[in-house]
Amino acid sequence: SRHCFNDIADCPGGVLLDLSALGTEVVLDPESATVTVPAAARYGDIAVQVHAAGFALANLASLPHCTVAGTVATATHGSGRRNQRLASAVSGLELVTADGEVKTYTRHDGVVVGLGALGVVTRLTLDLVPSFDLRQDVFDGLPWESVYDHFAEIQDAGYSVSLFTNWARDEVDQVWVKGPGRPGADFFGAKAADGPRHPAHAAGIPADNRTRQLGVPGPWHERIPHFRLAFTPSIGNELQTE
């Protein structure tokens, strides 16, 4: 997807491989609750197929546009105090080494977060959980004092909780709580948003590309990410602290 938070995907003299020709076909095994996907498959694409079969991935990144191999190789994370990074779902991995040999690895071989150094990953097998629904509620103006005094409680308030700030105010700009139930109108001193929010809402950026908010329940893959797959999430020069 060419999205990365560091320079590993754009290093001088490096070689970048486009694996999109491997396709997006997924092989789902209901008995083992796993799905095997091509390296270049995007999470947003495979999530739709996984959900249709009654399953879910336990966690997703904020961007459904990211490819599975790239996300795993760089230890990309989502949110949620009890949710692990996305690489933790990998139970199998196939890669091609520099001499052309195809190798297959299982969960405990220590090759998942390889940063591209071990070979070209071609397929991955991911663990699944039963499908579930979430709602997404946004709160404005969380006092820093509340963050300091109640951080664990705030992070436990939902399945996935994100705090957005520009560090310029005496409060956290926004709190996004994704969970099965309503967290309450008064959230540790923050107030429920009166409309959809973008993390840069104060700068006037519209929320069209964000996943559904205002407490409307929906399937996991349409609530855990911050952005919607059909929209361009960003243009590459934003400053964001989450």
The distance of Cα 145 from the centroid of its chain, to the nearest Å, equals 28
pLDDT for position 59: 92
d(CA 187, CA 207): 22
- Give residue for tokens 């951080």: 151
- Give residue for tokens 């590993």: 8
Distances (CA, A) of 119 to 78, 98, 114, 137: 25, 6, 8, 41
DSSP 52-114: HTTEE-S---S-TTSBHHHHHHTT-----TTPPPGGGGEEEEEEE-TTS-EEEEEGGGS-SS-
Contact 221, 60 (CB under 8 A): yes
Digit-by-digit pLDDT tens for the chain (242 residues) are 666 666 777 777 777 888 888 877 889 999 999 999 999 998 888 999 999 999 999 999 887 778 888 888 888 888 888 888 888 999 999 999 999 999 999 887 788 888 888 899 999 999 999 999 999 999 999 999 999 999 999 999 999 999 988 888 889 999 999 999 888 778 999 999 989 888 766 556 667 777 888 889 999 999 998 877 766 766 555 555 65
Give the residue from 179, 59, 189 showing the smallest Cα distance to 127: 59
Contact 223, 136 (CB under 8 A): yes
Give the residue from 70, 79, 91, 93 showing the smallest Cα distance to 2: 70
User: What DSSP state is assigned to residue 37?
Assistant: E
Domains of the chain (ranges, CATH numbers)? 7-130 (3.30.465.10), 133-222 (3.30.70.2530)
Sign of CA dihedral 50, 56, 62, 67: negative
Distances (CA, A) of 160 to 138, 177, 179, 214, 223: 12, 6, 7, 15, 10
Contact 139, 190 (CB under 8 A): yes
pLDDT for position 2: 64
